[in-house]
Amino acid sequence: MDINHISLFPNEHFLDIRPYQYGWEECKPLHSFGPFVRNHYLLHYIISGKGMLFSHSTSGEIHEYCLEANQAFLICPGQVNMYTADEKNPWKYVWIEFDGIRAEECLLAAGLQWDQPIYLPQNIEQGKLLEKRMLYFYENSTKSPIHLVGQLYLFLDELIEYSSSRQNIAEKNQKDFYINEAIAYIQQNCSRELTIDEVADFCKLNRNYFSRKFKKVMGCTPQEFLIHQRLTNATELMRLTDLPIKTIASRCGYPNQLYFSQAFKKCYGLSPQEWRKQNGSKTEL
Amino acid identity for residue 211 in this structure: S
How much is the pLDDT for 284?
Answer: 39
State pLDDT tens for residues 109-154: 899 999 999 999 999 999 999 999 999 999 998 898 889 999 999 9
pLDDT band at 280 (very low <50, low <70, confident <90, very high): low
Mean pLDDT to the nearest integer, 151-160: 95
- Tell me, what's the pLDDT at 84? 96
| Degrees, nearest 5: CA angle 83-229-149 | 75
The whole-number pLDDT of residue 170 equals 47
Contacts of 4 by beta carbon, 8 Å cutoff, 6+ apart: 23, 25, 26, 284, 285
Average pLDDT over residues 75-86: 92
Model confidence at 168, pLDDT cuts 50, 70, 90, reads: low
Q: Each residue of 18-47: pLDDT tens digit?
A: 899 999 999 999 999 888 888 899 999 999
Annotated domain spans of the chain = 3-162, 171-279
240 confidence band (pLDDT: 50, 70, 90): confident
Model confidence at 54, in pLDDT bands (50, 70, 90)?
very high
90 vs 141: which has the higher pLDDT: 90
Query: What is residue 283's three-state secondary structure?
Result: coil
Question: Whose CA is closest to 200, among 192, 190, 210, 186?
Answer: 210
Q: pLDDT at residue 11 above 60?
A: no
Given a cut of 50, whether residue 158 has pLDDT beyond it is yes
Alpha-carbon span 149 to 17, nearest angstrom: 7
CA distance linking residue 102 with residue 6, whole number of Å? 24
Indicate the average pLDDT of the chain.
Answer: 87
pLDDT at 279 over 90: no
pLDDT exceeds 90 at position 215: no
Distance between CA atoms of residues 83 and 35, nearest Å: 8
pLDDT at 173 exceeding the cut of 70? no
Percent share of the chain, pLDDT over 70? 89
Query: Quick one: pLDDT band at residue 204, thresholds 50, 70, 90?
Result: confident
Residue type, 100: G
pTM exceeds 0.95, yes or no: no
Residue 179, pLDDT score: 83
State whether CATH 3.20.20.20 applies to domain 3-162: no
- Tell whether the model's pLDDT for residue 4 goes beyond 80: no
Instruction: At 70, give phi and psi (nearest 5°).
Output: 75, 15
Tell me, what's the pLDDT at 282? Answer: 43
The pLDDT of residue 214 is 87
- CATH number for 171-279 (one of 3.40.1190.20, 2.60.120.260, 1.10.357.10, 1.10.10.60): it is 1.10.10.60
Cα separations in angstroms, 250 against 94, 138, 191, 245, 273: 37, 36, 8, 9, 15
183, burial (CB in 10 Å: exposed 0-12, middle 13-18, buried 19+): buried
**Distance of alpha carbon 59 from alpha carbon 77, whole angstroms:** 16
Find out whether 246 and 257 touch, Cβ atoms under 8 Å: yes
